Structure 1
Amino acid sequence: MHQSFYLFALKFRGGQKNDAKAQFAEHMFLQHDFPKAETSFQEISEYIEELAHPEMTAIVFDEIWGLYEDHIR
Structure 2
Amino acid sequence: MEISFYQYLMTERDPYKKDDIILFANEAFNDRIFPKQSEDYDEVSRHLEMNGDYLPSLTIFDEAWEIYQTRYQEK
TM-score when scaled to structure 2? 0.86
Runs of 4+ in 1 over 3 A off after TM superposition: none
Separation in structure 2 between the aligned mates of residue 10 and residue 59 of structure 1, nearest angstrom = 18
TM-score when scaled to structure 1? 0.88
Gaps of 5+ in 1: none
| Higher RCO, Cα 8 Å, sep 6+ | 2
Indicate the residue corresponding to 2:54 in structure 1.
54
Aligned residues: 72
- How many Å apart are 1:11 and its aligned residue? 1.1
Does residue 65 in structure 1 map to residue 65 in structure 2?
yes
User: Aligned pair in 2 of structure 1 residues 56, 4: CA closer, same or farther (>3 Å)?
Assistant: farther
Gaps of 5+ in 2: none
Root mean square deviation of aligned Cα: 1.5
